[in-house]
Chains A and B, each alone.
Chain A
Amino acid sequence: MSEDPFSLHNLELTPLKKTLRIKISIIFVFLGGLLAVIISLINLIWLRSEEGSQVVSLVYYLEAVVLPILILSLSLVAASVFLVLRYLKPLEVLYQGAQILAKGELDHRISIHTGDEIEFISYSLNSLAQNLSENLNKDAQSREYILAEKNKLDTIISSISDGVIVLDLHHNIVLANRAASRITGYEIPEMLRQPVESLITLKNASGQAIDLKKCFLDYADPAGAPQLKIITSLVGKNQQTTQVKATVTPIIENIQADLSFIMTLHDVTPDQVFQQMQIDFVSMASHEIRTPLTSIINYLSVLAEDSSIQLDSEAQEFIKRALTSARQLTILVDNLLNVSKIERNTFSVSLNPMDWLKNLEHVVESSRAQAVQKNISLELKLPSQSIPPVMADEIRINEVLNNLISNAISYTQEGGHIVISCKIIGEEIVTYVRDTGAGIPIEAIPHLFTKFFRVAGSLDRGSKGTGLGLYISKSIIDLHHGKIWVDSEVGKGSTFYFSLPLLQHAYQTPTIVQLNSPSTAQFD
């Protein structure tokens, strides 16, 4: 049975045995009777003395004395009843009203308008009820507000990405958030009410444990302790070690709240970028590969571009080839990363409205140098009609365009032609890259957009293709809700087409599209 301090105790009122009304009526009747008897006696004595010793006739006595007195007495009784009705009724209203209020129905108001003390009492009772009910409402509101604020604070603290640990005056943990749990290795319930030194150790750079007590915990007045900021190894549950920047701050106004220090733990482990950014194995591996690759490209290109270094043409050609191979490696690493993302369903595009024609111009221009090197003409045929915005991810869709143009250049002989154009068909815009190259044999076409498939007959020595480009391009086009296909004839050339939705037929707001919902499976 919980004691709710806010409810009114129901007063137990004993039922009245005799009401006031009856009591006063009895008094008046008694007084009336007494008066009748006294006056009768006085009269009798007076009559007796008047007429001498003559015996007064009973009838005469009854007529002359008793009857008027009786009438007088009855009138008195009637008067008393009338008085009770008038003056005591309000008291009854007051009594009933007080009963209702006592039961806890504080909305009840007693209505009395007699203009005397009883009305004043009723007014006081009404005021009392009003004040009490207002205070109760305020208390209920305060309680709700306090609860809401507490929930807000709990949510905020648990969402802070740094670990937060709060200690009481005995250095026991009274609060720890999720990040603290992750860093120390203990679950939050395991940490509460435990002395902090028993759970974690802070080690300095030489591996020695820092004496927490000496540093700050042993100050007589925690408010006098200095703020401690150290980069340290925090050793938690099962010797789990994390590099953290720990800040220990004394809490002022601590005695009342029984709080002494607040520790914040900021994870600074060098590979913490990976944890924070959720970079997975493949991304990490590709980063590791890029590091020595960067050195190779850097030194080779400096050698190639530095005019002060005298190299004969053969040496220059050697360096150029090494550079080309290194660059191919870079593209391969990028492609592997993309394919891995596609396979793990974490590859995504973010679609935004684009000026398609402007984009085509830009991409074609940037490929011109490559085409000119092989003496291939690169032509962009812009349609005469204006084209509404196209929903696309600019970076990704240009990867597709560059892939198609690059393939066209690879597979077309010197002096050949490449044409790029687009036109609106229905609700989509279809873009194509047409070359006069070697063409694709019919048996190869079904495998074109799969992984690692390369058509024999690439005309460049050291073909730049990795066999992944079309697979990635198809994945990108799929994410754009488009289609990609090819028309080709051996000896004549190939045309690669892809379609993209126009803005008026797509979602109006930028969307992020993923192949499937992201899977949490680790790459292995």
Chain B
Amino acid sequence: MPPTAKKILLIEDEAFIADIYAHELTKAGFSVRVARDGTSGLQILESEPFDMLLLDIMLPGMHGLEILRQWRTKSPNSTMPVILLTNLGQDEVIKEAFALGARGYLIKASYTPKQVVSEVTNVLGSNAASAIPPANEEARNG
């Protein structure tokens, strides 16, 4: 049984940007789920396990830092790495993100998709097996 790919949740409202990141991450062997607004992003985050969260800040519905805050309150013991992927660069925002336990903070405009994939790979390791037990896989195949 091939190891299941690591699951990444990308919450990004700009279609072009979401598409290219998802495209490159999938090419690198990750399984990517995209949410295009804050509220549904948080819902998905709370309903399924992921190996990593890539989070924009300026989102409709609920902004990224609020999502992170809610996530920390709901699942304080979660070790899932969170990387902020945003074009906001204010010191206060960065400080707040790290105070909320973010693993990294990348300014989108300064990173090519290849560099983003490489950062993600550094944190997650490449196509090694996902930390999430493949219960669904067995149910589907069984």
Q: Which of B57, B87, B112 contacts A298 (CB 8 A)?
A: B112
Assuming the A-B contacts A273-B58, A273-B65, are A305 and B93 also in contact, with contact meaning beta carbons closer than 8 angstroms in the complex?
no
CB distance from B43 to the nearest CB of A (A): 12
Tell me the chain A residues, 282-319 only, with Cβ under 8 Å from chain B.
Answer: 283, 287, 290-291, 293-295, 297-299, 301-302, 305
Assuming the A-B contacts A297-B109, A299-B20, are A305 and B114 also in contact, with contact meaning beta carbons closer than 8 angstroms in the complex?
yes
Cα-based distance from A270 to B87 in the complex (angstroms): 15
Cα-based distance from A302 to B61 in the complex (angstroms): 30
Tell me the chain A residues, 243-292 only, with Cβ under 8 Å from chain B.
Answer: 268, 270, 272-273, 277-279, 283, 287, 290-291
Q: Which of A273, A297, A299, A333 contacts B93 (CB 8 A)?
A: A273
CB distance from B41 to the nearest CB of A (A): 13
Flag whether A398 is at the interface (Cβ < 8 A). no
Interface residue count for B (Cβ, 8 Å)? 32
Tell me the chain A residues, 434-460 only, with Cβ under 8 Å from chain B.
Answer: none
Residues of A within 8 A of B66 (CB): 268
Residues of B within 8 A of A330 (CB): 109-110
Cα-based distance from A305 to B38 in the complex (angstroms): 32
Residues of B within 8 A of A337 (CB): 89
Residues of A within 8 A of B16 (CB): 295, 298-299
Residues of B within 8 A of A291 (CB): 14, 17, 87
Cα-based distance from A295 to B87 in the complex (angstroms): 12
Flag whether B125 is at the interface (Cβ < 8 A). no
Flag whether B138 is at the interface (Cβ < 8 A). no
Report yes or no: B88 in contact with A294, Cβ–Cβ below 8 A: no
CB distance from A305 to the nearest CB of B (A): 6
CB distance from A339 to the nearest CB of B (A): 15
Flag whether B52 is at the interface (Cβ < 8 A). no
Cα-based distance from A298 to B112 in the complex (angstroms): 5
Cα-based distance from A27 to B114 in the complex (angstroms): 121
Residues of A within 8 A of B89 (CB): 337
Report yes or no: B17 in contact with A294, Cβ–Cβ below 8 A: yes
Flag whether B63 is at the interface (Cβ < 8 A). yes
Cα-based distance from A295 to B15 in the complex (angstroms): 10
Q: Which residue of B lies closest to A330 (CB)?
A: B109
Residues of A within 8 A of B59 (CB): 270
Tell me the chain B residues, 33-54 only, with Cβ under 8 Å from chain A.
Answer: 38-39
Assuming the A-B contacts A273-B57, A273-B58, are A294 and B87 also in contact, with contact meaning beta carbons closer than 8 angstroms in the complex?
yes
Q: Which residue of A lies closest to B95 (CB)?
A: A277
CB distance from A229 to the nearest CB of B (A): 12
Flag whether B81 is at the interface (Cβ < 8 A). no
Cα-based distance from A268 to B62 in the complex (angstroms): 6
Flag whether B90 is at the interface (Cβ < 8 A). yes
Assuming the A-B contacts A287-B58, A302-B24, A330-B109, are A295 and B17 also in contact, with contact meaning beta carbons closer than 8 angstroms in the complex?
yes
Report yes or no: B90 in contact with A270, Cβ–Cβ below 8 A: no
Residues of B within 8 A of A277 (CB): 90, 92-93, 96
Residues of A within 8 A of B87 (CB): 287, 290-291, 294
CB distance from A217 to the nearest CB of B (A): 27
Residues of B within 8 A of A298 (CB): 16-17, 20-21, 108, 112-113
**Interchain Cβ contacts under 8 Å between A and B, 21 examples:** A270-B63, A272-B63, A273-B93, A279-B88, A279-B90, A290-B107, A290-B108, A293-B109, A294-B14, A295-B16, A295-B17, A295-B20, A297-B109, A297-B112, A298-B17, A298-B112, A299-B16, A302-B20, A302-B112, A305-B112, A330-B109
Sorted nearest first, the 5 A-B pairs with minimum C-beta distance are A290-B87, A301-B112, A290-B109, A295-B16, A294-B108
